[in-house]
């Protein structure tokens, strides 16, 4: 119990007359309260209720997931496999760099600290949102159901659940935020989000249904983040920074980016 409130009650019990307002709890004005963090806002999402249940053994969706996993094993050691390996690391500096071709300019976390902070917040919120649904569904990863090569070590992954994909959630959430900052690049940015999620299927560490759920989850996270004043402030600061950065005529190698786009436009399944 609040010490001040307890003292007021003791005084009233002793027959002392105090102004009623003196014992009223003091409310902090909304404008002076610390803003809720992006992660705490996103954690309010009930993802286990929002997302469809993971496919169950014996259902058509479950069998379709198995067939996609088996069919995409043929991509081992291909250029698309190499990209999937590169997409395993989703730390903020690497993730920003992954979207450079799509943005049309090198996204350097050191040169864009406000954007990096925004990507951090979005990524943390995306991660927080996936845990409840993973625990609720407890879906096994595809390499535990059928044998097949994976593009990364499975030692740690085997101890975690498949559905929804955390990589896909993060990739779509960040891509949607970047598209809001640079709507003229939205098509390429969201294509890169799709490819980032598809990389988990190519890699053999997530089922297609888990990647699809990640896309839905990522969109929900961004929608909820917009209710956070702290996120809105970070978004505005990042937009101003990015606009100035892009105006400085930084550009990406045309041939490299054209090759990447040709690689990711077709779905790998």
Per-residue confidence (pLDDT) for residue 26, from 0 to 100: 41
Give residue-wise pLDDT tens across range 131-153. 999 999 999 999 999 999 999 99
Q: Give the model's confidence band at 41: pLDDT under 50 very low, under 70 low, under 90 confident, else very high.
A: low
Strands (E), the chain: none
Q: Is the pLDDT of residue 18 over 80?
A: no
Residue 112 has pLDDT above 60, yes or no: yes
Mean pLDDT of 186-199: 98
pLDDT at residue 39, as a whole number: 56
What is the per-residue pLDDT for 249? 78
Mean pLDDT of the region 229-249: 95
Is residue 26 exposed (0-12), middle (13-18) or buried (19+ Cβ within 10 Å)?
exposed
Average pLDDT of the chain is 88
What pLDDT does 158 receive? 94
Closest by CA to 161, choosing from 182, 139, 146, is 139
In which region does residue 204 sit, left (phi positive, over 0), alpha (psi from -120 to 50) or beta (all else)? Answer: left
3 state DSSP class of 149: coil
Query: Residue 44 and residue 214: Cα distance in Å, rounded?
Result: 17
The first and second tokens of residue 193, run together, are 């989000």
Is the link from the previous residue into 222 a cis peptide, with omega within 30 of 0?
no
- pLDDT confidence band for 44 (50 / 70 / 90): confident
Residues 171 and 96: their CA atoms lie apart, in Å, by 10
Residue 197 contacts residue 118 (beta carbons within 8 Å):
no
Q: Provide the H-helix boundaries in 14-90.
A: 38-42, 47-50, 60-71, 79-86
């Amino acid at each position: 119990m609040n010490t001040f409130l307890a003292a007021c009650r003791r005084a009233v019990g002793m027959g002392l007359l105090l102004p009623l307002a003196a014992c009223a709890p003091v409310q902090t004005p909304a404008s002076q309260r610390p803003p809720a963090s992006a992660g705490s806002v996103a954690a309010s999402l009930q993802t286990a209720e929002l997302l469809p249940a993971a496919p169950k053994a014996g259902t058509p969706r479950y069998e379709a997931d198995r067939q996609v996993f088996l069919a995409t094993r043929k991509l081992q050691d291909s250029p698309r496999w190499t990209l999937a390996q590169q997409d395993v690391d989703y730390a903020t500096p690497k993730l920003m760099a992954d979207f450079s071709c799509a943005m049309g300019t090198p996204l350097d976390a050191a040169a864009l600290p406000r954007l990096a902070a925004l990507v951090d917040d979005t990524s943390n919120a995306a991660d927080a949102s996936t845990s409840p649904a993973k625990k609720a569904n407890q879906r096994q990863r595809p390499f535990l159901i059928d044998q097949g090569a994976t593009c990364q070590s499975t030692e740690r992954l085997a101890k975690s659940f498949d559905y929804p994909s955390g990589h896909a959630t993060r990739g779509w959430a960040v891509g949607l935020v970047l598209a809001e900052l640079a709507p003229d690049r939205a098509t390429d940015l969201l294509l890169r989000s799709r490819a980032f999620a598809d990389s988990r299927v190519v890699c053999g560490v997530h089922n297609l249904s888990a990647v699809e759920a990640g896309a839905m989850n990522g969109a929900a996270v961004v929608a909820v983040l917009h209710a956070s004043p702290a996120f809105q402030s970070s978004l505005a600061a990042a937009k101003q920074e990015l606009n100035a950065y892009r105006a400085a005529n930084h550009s990406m190698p045309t041939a490299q980016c054209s090759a990447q786009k040709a690689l990711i436009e077709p779905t790998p399944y």
